Structure 1
C-alpha cells in the first residue's frame, strides 16, 4: 500500500470560560477545518477545556497520537484587536483560576524548566510574509501570551515538541472580525508557518537544549 506522505498539523482551540461563553478561538478553528490546509496536509482539530490538568493530559496524548510536523494552539484574548502571533511561552506565574477554580500548586508548567521557551518558527518572518490581498485581517506579533491557559498550553507544547509549536491569539468574535475572517487568517498563517518551518535557517532556541 502506498505510504501517506502528507504532513500532519494539529490545531486546538479552547472551550468556554468566563465571559467568553462562545470562545472565538474554537469557532475560528472550526472555520479553518472547513477550509482545510490543502491536499498535502492532514489537519486534525481539537477543543481543549480551560483547565490546567486537562492541558497536561491532552497535549502529550495528542502529540503521541499524531506526531505532527506542527502543533498550533489558538486562544482568545479579550484585549486583542488583531490576530496575534505569540513568540514564546512562559513557565511561571500561573495564579489565575481555571474553570474548576484550580491553578497549579507551584504556579508553573514544568518544574525546573527554563523561564521562557521560544518557537522554532520566527514569528516576525511569518508576519512579514503574509501578503495575501484577500486577507482583510491585521496580523501582529507578541512576546507575552498572558500567564493563563493560553500561555500554559503554549509552554507545555513547546517543551514537548522542542519548539515545533505555535500560538495564535484571536480577538472576540465581531471585535472586529467575523468567524470566516478568522478562519481564513488561520489558514493563511499556518500555510506560511509550514513554509518557514521547512526553511533550513529555521532556528531552535538555545534554551531548548537545556
Structure 2
C-alpha cells in the first residue's frame, strides 16, 4: 500500500521515582500490537530533558512526515488513561534529568499560551469508553508543566495541532503493560478515524488552532 498512514508514538525514559516508565513500556506493547495494515507505526523513546526534546521533535516531524504524533507519558496521579486536550507554553520550573530547566521557563518565546489539539479528546474518550474494553479513559486540560506538557506544546506547534498526548498510570495501578498497550491502540485508532473524517470534510485543520491568551 503506497498510501499508508504514518503515525509516530513516543514514550519517555525513566525519571524520578519512575525507575520503569510505564509510558515507554506501553508504547513497546503497542508496537507489538500494531495499528493495522494501513498504518506505518514508528516509535521512539524520549529523554526527560528539555534540550533533547527541542532537538528531537523537529527532526521527528521532518523526517517521518507523520499524519499524527502521539506522545505518551506517565502520571503518578493518573488512575485512568488520560487524554490531554492542550499544551501550555509557560511555567516550566521543574528540573529535568540533567538538572536543567529553561531560563525563560517557557517552551517558545512569544508563542501562544496554550495550543489545542485538532482532535476532540471528549469524542475519542466517549467512543473508547462506550466500547467497554475494560480500560477507563478520561480527558484533562492540564498536562502538568513538566516534560510531558513541554513535549506536547512543542509538538502541537510543529505539527499545527496534529498531535495528541496520553497520560498513563504507573504499571499495575491498575493496568498491566498489555492493557495499557491495548488502551493506546484503541485510543489512537479512534484518533485516526476522527482525522479521516476531517480530511474528507475538506476542513482546514490549521484554522481550528486555538491560540488563546489566558
The TM-score with structure 1 as length reference comes to 0.95
* Residue number in structure 1 paired with 2:209: 205
- 1:38 Cα deviation (Å)? 0.3
* Residue number in structure 1 paired with 2:53: 55
The separation in 2 between residues aligned to 1:24 and 1:53, in whole angstroms, is 22
The separation in 1 between residues aligned to 2:15 and 2:126, in whole angstroms, is 32
The separation in 1 between residues aligned to 2:192 and 2:111, in whole angstroms, is 27
The separation in 1 between residues aligned to 2:101 and 2:197, in whole angstroms, is 38
The separation in 1 between residues aligned to 2:26 and 2:168, in whole angstroms, is 8
2:165 aligned residue (164, 167, 190): 167
Tell whether the 8 Å contact from 2:113 to 2:211 is kept in structure 1 after alignment.
Answer: no
Moved over 4 A (4+): none
* Residue number in structure 1 paired with 2:19: 21
- 1:43 Cα deviation (Å)? 0.1
Q: What is the total number of aligned residue pairs between the two structures?
A: 205
- 1:198 Cα deviation (Å)? 1.7
Secondary structure at the counterpart of residue 166 of structure 1: strand
Tell whether the 8 Å contact from 2:81 to 2:138 is kept in structure 1 after alignment.
Answer: yes
The TM-score with structure 2 as length reference comes to 0.93
Secondary structure at the counterpart of residue 199 of structure 1: helix
1:158 equivalenced with 2:156 (yes/no): yes
* Residue number in structure 1 paired with 2:131: 132
The separation in 2 between residues aligned to 1:87 and 1:29, in whole angstroms, is 20
Encode CA deviations 1:140-186: one digit per residue, 9 max, x unaligned: 00000000000000000000000000000000000000000000000
Could you tell me which runs of 5 or more consecutive residues in structure 2 were left unpaired when the two chains were aligned: none
Secondary structure at the counterpart of residue 174 of structure 1: coil
Cα RMSD of the aligned pairs, angstroms, is 1.3
Could you tell me which runs of 5 or more consecutive residues in structure 1 were left unpaired when the two chains were aligned: none
